[in-house]
């Protein structure tokens, strides 16, 4: 046992947890921690982002890419509040993250002191837990608890706020190995497994709906084995991408507002829908009262609070998806469903994708990225049309390949997340796909990539409008384009050069292919500005609140 300052205890606890990279921005109240970090820079690499929001998104991207806990740091007041959007993003998508902030000294709390804010209170609704540490003797155990909470059960973010005097005070420190993270199995009831097996064995037309919980549980292998054993077809949510291979014959594509017609129509032809690690988001179900009305619903999820929250189900199993799928697969009888598979194959033939891959458009750009990376890249996105095109046209083979803000829908997420992902998975090409509206929000993080020479590739799908909002204005607001036109003189190639990256502009598919090939070979930060038409749309589409069977595309509108 030895005596250390609170700041030294913070660093030692991070080392205990195996943290190798931290994203953050220093300031007055957290200076002691940064001073201690300076002395351990050979053990923990700190990435100075351009903005604290970038730090929280980078920590999130690191966590999504690796499955480990992402860590970010910020000072008090605006430093801490600038983390909030990133913390909320992680919370909505169940991403393990620990945010460490510092606050004014205990004697100054509650006095509206300079840069004082009750950040633990601010983030209470968007964290699994938030702590404020006012006693140095409680610091080590609080940090250890934070890491355990972030990873246990349904993962999520935890905030630890430390007063400045605690970072300077001294306490005894004794190293401890991290407590093992146990899989949640106590909630798995034998009778629920029995019911699930009976429902599956009675089904002639099973469909599996895969959510992000399968990624979090590291259950993709078990899922594939399970799907093959019961001969089910498989669709996924945005968060479930890659949990089941997008190249598999039984895969029908994403479901929901911009899901495929095969998935949206197919789920209404199934007699059993097995939902694994998904929460029945409104963007997935459409009109919840009309969701999969011909089917029985079996819900497998780690969080009991999600059962019957948005959609009433016929049966459920609560617990770790990996363990539940193993239990069911071990006992279930293998079966073949040729008629059901033929029915889905007929839907695939009836509703092929109509995107022209020779036209310079969002789908063609994504398809070209897929070809040039052979499906092996880490793809981060911002939020909007480009996000949906990425989900639709990049065939994700593995989990943790698509990193995107699903629940919160955070514009400006992508660049920071891409930097974090590249630190977590340096072996993979890392590409952020953004619209011009999103890129404007946090393009300052290109400077971060340049400072550390992080070889990310930023693809801007630039239509000079807020594309997704404009799409809604076109379809539902009689083309009243209120504040969605971005046709100004901003030059992203010059911005890239000014921020220390290499910029390219592409106005056709060949120019884009040439730029992408150079970007991959350069192995440095690159921005590719892709100029496409402002009226390109994401198809298919389900109007907000409508039933999935009302899914339509441009051909349907033209045939009216």
**Alpha carbons 77 and 75: distance in angstroms, whole number:** 7
Edge-to-edge strands, sheet with 206-210:
251-254, 233-236, 206-210, 272-276, 296-301, 315-318
277 and 390 part of one domain: no
Instruction: Tell which of 111, 140, 173 closes a domain.
Output: 173
Percent of the chain with pLDDT over 90: 98
With bands split at pLDDT 50, 70 and 90, how would you rate the model's confidence at 213? very high
432 and 508 part of one domain: yes
Percent of the chain with pLDDT over 70: 100
Residue 549 falls within a domain, yes or no? Answer: no
If you ran DSSP here, which 8-state letter would residue 283 be given? H
129 and 237 part of one domain: no
Say yes or no to pLDDT of 537 above 90: yes
Domain that holds residue 154: 2-173
371 and 488 part of one domain: yes
- Kind and range of the H or E element at 103? strand 97-103
Note if 492 is an active site residue: no
The average pLDDT across 13-27 equals 98
Instruction: Tell which of 350, 380, 410 closes a domain.
Output: 350
Note if 115 is an active site residue: yes
Residue 105 falls within a domain, yes or no? Answer: yes
User: What pLDDT digit, counting tens, does each position of 492-515 carry?
Assistant: 999 999 999 999 999 999 999 999
If you ran DSSP here, which 8-state letter would residue 244 be given? B
Note if 468 is an active site residue: yes
247 and 285 part of one domain: yes
Exposure string for 153-185, b = 16+ CB within 10 A, e = fewer: bbbbbbbbbbbbbbbebebebeeeeeeeeebbe
217 and 322 part of one domain: yes
pLDDT at residue 354, rounded to an integer:
87
Residues in a beta bridge with 403: 380
CA-nearest of 229, 239, 235 to 248 is 235
Instruction: Tell which of 117, 138, 173 closes a domain.
Output: 173
User: What pLDDT digit, counting tens, does each position of 343-401 carry?
Assistant: 999 999 999 998 999 999 999 999 999 999 999 999 999 999 999 999 999 999 999 99
Active-site residue, selected from the candidate residues 15, 16, 68, 115? 115
Q: What is the CATH number of the domain that holds 298?
A: 3.40.50.1220
386 and 514 part of one domain: yes
Contact 390, 365 (CB under 8 A): no
The average pLDDT across 189-201 equals 98
The average pLDDT across 403-407 equals 98
338 and 378 part of one domain: no
Q: What is the CATH number of the domain that holds 169?
A: 3.40.50.970
Q: Name the one residue in this structure whose structure tokens are 């300076």.
A: 38
195 and 122 part of one domain: no
**Alpha carbons 234 and 277: distance in angstroms, whole number:** 13
Mean residue pLDDT of the chain comes to 97
Active-site residue, selected from the candidate residues 12, 52, 222, 306? 52
The average pLDDT across 223-235 equals 98
User: What pLDDT digit, counting tens, does each position of 317-339 carry?
Assistant: 999 999 999 999 999 999 999 99
Count of structural domains within the chain: 3
Residue 180 falls within a domain, yes or no? Answer: no
Active-site residue, selected from the candidate residues 39, 43, 114, 555? 114
The average pLDDT across 294-309 equals 98
Note if 396 is an active site residue: no
CA-nearest of 454, 192, 200 to 323 is 192
322 and 242 part of one domain: yes
Contact 60, 408 (CB under 8 A): no
Rounded alpha-carbon distances, angstroms, from residue 416 to 69, 79, 287, 529: 16, 16, 34, 18
Say yes or no to pLDDT of 290 above 90: yes
pLDDT at residue 151, rounded to an integer:
98
Write down the pTM of the prediction.
0.97
Residue 554 falls within a domain, yes or no? Answer: no
Residue 229 falls within a domain, yes or no? Answer: yes
Active-site residue, selected from the candidate residues 128, 164, 261, 322? 164
Note if 114 is an active site residue: yes
Say yes or no to pLDDT of 560 above 90: no
484 and 390 part of one domain: yes
Residue 125 falls within a domain, yes or no? Answer: yes
pLDDT at residue 476, rounded to an integer:
96
With bands split at pLDDT 50, 70 and 90, how would you rate the model's confidence at 1? confident
- Kind and range of the H or E element at 316? strand 315-318
Active-site residue, selected from the candidate residues 468, 512, 516, 537? 468
**Alpha carbons 474 and 14: distance in angstroms, whole number:** 50
Residue 181 falls within a domain, yes or no? Answer: no
CA-nearest of 325, 345, 328, 313 to 201 is 328
The average pLDDT across 434-439 equals 98
Say yes or no to pLDDT of 121 above 90: yes
26 and 161 part of one domain: yes
Residue 452 falls within a domain, yes or no? Answer: yes
User: What pLDDT digit, counting tens, does each position of 62-118 carry?
Assistant: 999 999 999 999 999 999 999 999 999 999 999 999 999 999 999 989 999 999 999
């Amino acid at each position: 046992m030895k005596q250390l300052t609170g700041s030294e205890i913070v660093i030692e606890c991070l080392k205990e947890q195996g943290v190798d990279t931290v994203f953050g921005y220093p300031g007055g109240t957290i200076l002691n921690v940064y001073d201690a970090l300076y002395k351990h820079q050979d053990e923990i690499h700190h990435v100075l982002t351009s903005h604290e929001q970038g730090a929280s998104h980078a920590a999130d991207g690191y966590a999504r890419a690796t499955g480990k806990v992402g860590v970010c740091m910020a000072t008090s007041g605006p430093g801490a509040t600038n983390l909030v959007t990133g913390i909320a993003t992680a919370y909505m998508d169940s991403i393990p993250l620990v945010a460490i902030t510092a606050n004014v000294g205990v004697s100054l709390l509650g006095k509206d002191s300079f840069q004082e804010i009750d950040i633990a209170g601010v983030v209470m609704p968007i964290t699994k837990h938030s702590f404020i540490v006012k006693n140095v003797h409680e610091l080590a155990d609080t940090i250890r608890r934070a890491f355990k909470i972030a990873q246990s059960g349904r993962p999520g973010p935890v905030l630890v706020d430390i007063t400045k005097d605690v970072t300077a005070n001294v306490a005894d420190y004794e190293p401890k190995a991290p407590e093992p993270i146990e899989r949640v199995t106590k909630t798995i009831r034998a009778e629920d497994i029995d019911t699930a097996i009976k429902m599956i064995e009675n089904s002639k037309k099973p469909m599996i709906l895969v959510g992000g919980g399968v990624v979090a549980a590291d259950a993709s292998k078990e899922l594939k084995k399970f799907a093959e054993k019961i001969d089910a077809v498989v669709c996924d949510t945005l968060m479930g991408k890659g949990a089941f291979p997008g190249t598999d014959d039984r895969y029908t594509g994403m479901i929901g507002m911009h899901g495929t017609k095969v998935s949206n129509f197919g789920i209404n032809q199934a007699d059993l829908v097995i939902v694994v690690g998904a929460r029945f988001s409104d963007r997935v179900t459409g009109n919840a009262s009309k969701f999969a009305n011909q089917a029985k619903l079996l819900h497998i999820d780690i969080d009991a609070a999600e059962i019957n929250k948005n959609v009433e189900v016929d049966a459920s199993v609560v617990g770790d998806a990996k363990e539940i799928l193993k239990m069911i697969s071990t006992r279930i009888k293998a079966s073949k469903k040729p008629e059901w598979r033929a029915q889905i194959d007929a839907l695939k033939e009836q509703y092929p994708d109509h995107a022209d891959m020779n036209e310079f458009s969002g789908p063609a750009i994504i398809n070209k990225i897929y070809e040039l990376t052979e499906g092996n890249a880490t793809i981060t996105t911002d939020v909007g049309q480009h996000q949906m095109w990425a989900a639709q046209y990049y065939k994700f083979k593995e989990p943790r390949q698509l990193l995107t803000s699903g629940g919160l829908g955070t514009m400006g997420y992508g660049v920071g997340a891409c930097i974090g992902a590249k630190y977590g998975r340096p072996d993979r090409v890392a590409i952020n796909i953004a619209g011009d509206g999103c890129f404007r929000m946090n393009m300052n993080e290109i400077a971060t990539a340049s400072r550390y020479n992080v070889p990310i590739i930023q693809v801007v799908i630039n239509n000079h409008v807020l594309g997704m909002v404009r799409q809604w204005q076109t379809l539902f607001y009689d083309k009243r384009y209120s504040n969605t036109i971005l046709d100004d003189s901003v030059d992203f190639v010059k911005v890239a050069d000014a921020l220390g990256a290499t910029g390219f502009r592409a106005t056709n598919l060949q120019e884009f292919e040439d730029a992408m090939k150079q970007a991959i070979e350069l192995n440095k930060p690159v921005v590719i500005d892709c100029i496409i038409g402002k009226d390109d749309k994401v198809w298919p589409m389900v109007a907000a609140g409508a039933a999935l069977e009302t899914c339509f595309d441009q051909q349907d509108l033209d045939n009216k």
